[in-house]
Amino acid sequence: MKKYKILPGVMFLFLLASCAPKIPFTQAIREQYKLSPEEMKGIQYYLSDPVALRRGETNENQKSTEDGKLVVESGRSIDQVTIKANTEGAMEQAVDLKTITVAFEEGAEKQLVFSSNRSRNGYYTLQALSWENGRGKINYGGQTWYSNPGSDKAILLFKMKSIRKLRVNEKVARGRKVN
């Protein structure tokens, strides 16, 4: 009976060990495996930290009269795109040997730029037109957006599985009789 209680735990550990962990995508990995842009497009990327992009418009004061009163309306509308941590992304383009664009949703120009950074161990980090207090000014979907504080820490992750193959050619000897 005890054997059956241990068996599910052992099976769970085996299943857990068979899953490939997410690791940072780095310039060293790109160079070590001599990844071409076509090969990089076949990799499933993931975002390490959440990124929220916001842009807002302030409406001009609009005035009208209603029931003999002057009504003045002013307001602001904010658009936000949230990309959660571990969201799957696909590489769109290799800009150069250290920069790629990754899309986390469908649509024209809806991609983020990631570049290898020596000060961050070669990790591919989120790039912006400019950074101020951890917030980036980013071109997304053909418009200017501002990222959430801390988005400068976002990096690309991917899964890597190492498989070692051993090929054995076996020949069975038939034996030999004495003449």
Q: What is the pLDDT of residue 166?
A: 77
Degrees, nearest 5: CA angle 118-124-125:
90
Contact by Cβ (8 Å): 175, 75: no
Mean pLDDT within 26-37: 96
Q: How many Å apart are CA 88 and CA 76, to the nearest integer?
A: 32
Contact by Cβ (8 Å): 33, 42: no
Residue 139 pLDDT > 70: yes
Q: What is the pLDDT of residue 155?
A: 97
Residue 45 pairs in a beta bridge with 89, 158
Residue 3 pLDDT > 50: no
Q: What is the pLDDT of residue 13?
A: 39
* Residue 38 CB contacts under 8 Å (≥ 6 apart), including other chains: none
Convert the pLDDT of each residue in 35-47 to its tens digit.
999 999 999 999 9
Convert the pLDDT of each residue in 98-127 to its tens digit.
999 999 999 999 999 999 987 888 999 999
Mean pLDDT within 65-77: 77
Q: What is the pLDDT of residue 99?
A: 97
CB neighbour burial string for 109-143, b if at least 16 within 10 angstroms, e if fewer: eebbbbbbbeeeebbbbbbbeeeeeebbebebbee
Task: Tell me if residue 51 falls in helix, strand or coil.
Answer: strand
Q: What is the mean pLDDT of the chain?
A: 86
Q: How many Å apart are CA 112 and CA 108, to the nearest integer?
A: 12
Query: Cα separations (Å) of 125 from 3, 87, 99, 110?
Result: 48, 15, 9, 17
